Amino acid sequence: MRSTAPKLSSQVLARLRNGIRRHLAGGWRRVVFARPSSGGPETDEIVVPGIVNPPSETELESLVTQAATAAMDGYVKQTFVIDDRTRVRIDARFGRAKVIELDAAMRAKVTGGKERALQPDTSGDLLRQIGIMNADGTISAQHAKKYKQVNHFVELCRPTWKVLRSRRKVDEDSPLRVIDLACGNSYLTFVLAEALRLEAIPSRITGVDVRADVIERSRSRAETLGWAGMDFEVSTIAGLPPDRWSAPLDLLVSLHACDTATDEALAVAIRHGAESIFAAPCCQHELAAQLELAPSPAIVRHGLFKQDYAAVLTDALRVEILEAYGYKVDLVEFVASEHSAKNQLIRAHRHTRRLDTQAFDAVLERCATLRVRPRLLDLLRDGDPS
């Protein structure tokens, strides 16, 4: 409120003006006016677009006026972002300007001392778009864990595109073809796109989700970033036409698609001959409702046991089915278990296009013995790609 805001003395205002004119004469990306943190998770701030070319005298003086007005409204923490590596910070209560450079020491502090794929300068635009980096170019403690997680995801992906590039020529005329089913807010879709961009790997990425609002946000985010190689569409997985993609799929991604939506995504991958698959299953409820037999009767009698056993059984059968259809499969920790219980990533790479009928029949026999019928089996029966 203005009644509790500081009043700028002529001396402080002069220092504020001198700092702005001295450091921003070549232009700036954006300005962040913030109130001092009250300790809560939300930051009260105003972000003002910048002027990337050298500003006129009038434009510089206008910025001084904006800064002074913001300060008198309590927005005294002021950050002027010059470029991806440089920002000027001014506490408007005192008016002194401090230049902050993203040097080796600060980079190590932001990245936890590790070599991260997504650096705060080279990937700053993306990190801001997905809410990990603040508008002033910092990564708060609140978002540090997510920053580590998305970089971990990149490292999980890295071996896959090396495999894909070894199998065919990937260039601008024939980019890597990636489909993300049940993409949600598409945060990791964009992380994957950024990782490919940093490796100079041309790609064409399509995100699909049933919710129109998240698809619209994803489209807007891609437009803001200027990434023409991404498109998004509203659809259920089951509602996709069988001939939706004429070109072969290099990588199909489905992260945290609920229950049988994961089966629908895996069926699309198998039918379209996707070379690689990333699937992080979520909420595997289907087989829990079918379970009558288990290694111990207590598993069936107790709900927590039953749900856990059914989830493991569901994913184990998915792995066996993928292997029968010619995929080499491994399971890796997707997100550290202390952050999420849904931390299992099924990572698969096709090594043959021939269905192993003996292995597939063994899966059918096992399901018959356990008196369960996974949705994936029915989906493949309805449109058997063999």
121 and 85 Cβ atoms separated by less than 8 Å = yes
Distance CA 384, CA 276 (A): 19
35 and 74 Cβ atoms separated by less than 8 Å = yes
Domain ranges, ordered by start, for the chain: 2-101, 144-382
Helix, strand, coil abundance in the chain, percent, nearest 5:
40, 20, 35
Distance CA 19, CA 27 (A): 13
Distance CA 202, CA 197 (A): 7
Residue 212 vs residues 95, 154, 159, 182, 185: alpha-carbon distances, Å: 46, 27, 33, 12, 11
Note the pLDDT of residue 5: 53
Instruction: Decide if domain 144-382 falls under CATH 3.40.50.150.
Output: yes
Q: pTM here?
A: 0.84
Total Cβ atoms within 10 A of residue 171: 10
Among the listed residues 175, 86, 87, 336, the one whose alpha carbon sits nearest the alpha carbon of residue 78: 87
Phi, psi of 86 (to 5 degrees): -130, 135
For residue 42, the number of C-alpha atoms closer than 13 Å in the C-beta half-sphere is 3
CA angle 117, 121, 123 (to 5 degrees): 50
Note the pLDDT of residue 382: 61
Kindly state the tokens that stand for 360: 């597939």
pLDDT tens over the chain, length 386 residues: 444 556 788 999 999 999 999 999 999 999 999 998 765 545 688 999 999 899 999 999 999 999 999 999 999 999 999 998 899 999 999 989 999 998 878 777 777 778 889 998 899 999 999 999 999 888 888 888 899 999 999 999 999 998 999 999 999 999 999 999 999 999 999 999 999 999 999 999 999 999 999 999 999 999 999 999 999 999 999 888 877 776 779 999 999 888 889 999 999 999 999 999 999 998 888 888 898 888 888 988 898 998 899 899 999 999 999 999 999 999 998 764 444 456 789 999 999 989 999 999 999 999 999 999 999 999 998 654 44
Among the listed residues 286, 238, 285, 282, the one whose alpha carbon sits nearest the alpha carbon of residue 264: 238
> Hey, which bits of the chain come out as E strands?
28-34, 45-51, 77-81, 86-91, 97-101, 176-181, 203-209, 230-234, 251-258, 276-282, 327-333, 344-350
Chain centroid offset of residue 271 CA: 26
Kindly state the tokens that stand for 35: 């109130």
Q: How are beta strands 86-91 and 45-51 bridged, if at all?
A: unpaired
